């Protein structure tokens, strides 16, 4: 079965200002290659042959100019104000995606084994399979509360938590759980799936990933990729 990916590349990238006044964040170069270039290459090497790139409608031409127009690339330009789940919903309403697909945020560089993720997801009945990084460190300032009263405050204690890294395998039926263009995938769609009793699984991941959100993140990713020989 041909594998499909959906790459979310429509964010404004405010935290990377002024870099993103020139280009949308996924098109920014790191070690001579655009952020989204790493994503597309790794997905292609895993056997993913069709890619949908969800962008803000005002940026669609920029993406086409930089990445080109090919049979295996489809651009979905939704209104600029749409949130992540809104862009996904817009795509699924316009395109006939009948099978599971890999969802990937367009500002994440990682070495997830997409082949293993795909096979794991397809061997289950899960509506969504989330790639989870184990043992993430929260360095300070953790507040727990109940009824508005702080019950615990942990300052500078390295608490281990599991986090979703922005990569998942989804079934197209998630479309029916998205309620409007302002919804977010992480804070709205996934909690709704859990609340509605849909099977949502985790895929344990122990590799590297960079969420290119700030100038510091950008520099850290660049340093790491240089060290690993990505030129």
Residue 31 phi, psi dihedral angles, 5° rounding = 55, 40
Q: Is the predicted pLDDT of residue 231 greater than 80, yes or no?
A: no
Q: Is the predicted pLDDT of residue 12 greater than 80, yes or no?
A: no
Q: Is the predicted pLDDT of residue 88 greater than 90, yes or no?
A: yes
Q: Is the predicted pLDDT of residue 183 greater than 90, yes or no?
A: yes
pLDDT at 159: 63
- Contact call for residues 193 and 178 (beta carbons, < 8 A): no
From CA 180, how far away is CA 11, in angstroms rounded? Answer: 17
Whether the bond between 18 and the residue before it is cis, its omega within 30 degrees of 0, is yes
- Cβ within 8 Å of residue 93, ≥6 positions away: 175
Ordered domains of the chain (ranges, CATH): 3-132+163-227 (3.90.550.10)
133-174 residue pLDDT tens: 876 665 556 666 677 555 666 665 566 677 888 999 999 999
């Amino acid at each position: 079965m041909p594998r499909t990916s959906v790459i979310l590349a429509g964010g404004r990238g405010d935290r990377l200002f002024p870099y993103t006044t020139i280009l949308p964040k996924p098109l920014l170069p790191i070690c001579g290659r655009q952020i989204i270039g790493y994503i597309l290459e790794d997905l292609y090497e895993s056997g993913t042959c069709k890619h949908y790139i969800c962008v803000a409608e005002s940026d669609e031409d920029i993406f086409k100019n930089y990445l080109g127009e090919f049979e295996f690339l489809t651009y979905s330009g939704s209104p600029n104000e749409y949130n992540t789940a809104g862009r996904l919903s817009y795509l699924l309403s316009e395109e006939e995606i009948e099978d599971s697909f890999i969802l990937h945020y367009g500002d994440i560089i990682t070495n997830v084994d997409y082949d293993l993720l795909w096979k794991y997801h397809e061997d289950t009945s899960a509506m969504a399979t989330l790639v989870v990084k184990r043992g993430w460190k929260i360095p300070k300032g953790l507040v727990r509360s109940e009824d508005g009263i702080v019950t615990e405050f942990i300052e500078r204690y390295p608490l281990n938590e599991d986090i979703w890294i922005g990569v998942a395998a989804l079934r197209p039926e998630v479309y029916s759980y998205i309620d409007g263009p302002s919804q977010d995938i992480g804070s709205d769609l996934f909690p709704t799936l859990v609340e509605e009793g849909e099977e949502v699984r985790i895929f344990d991941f122990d590799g590297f990933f960079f969420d290119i959100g700030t100038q510091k993140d950008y520099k850290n990713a660049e340093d790491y990729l240089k060290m690993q020989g990505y030129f």
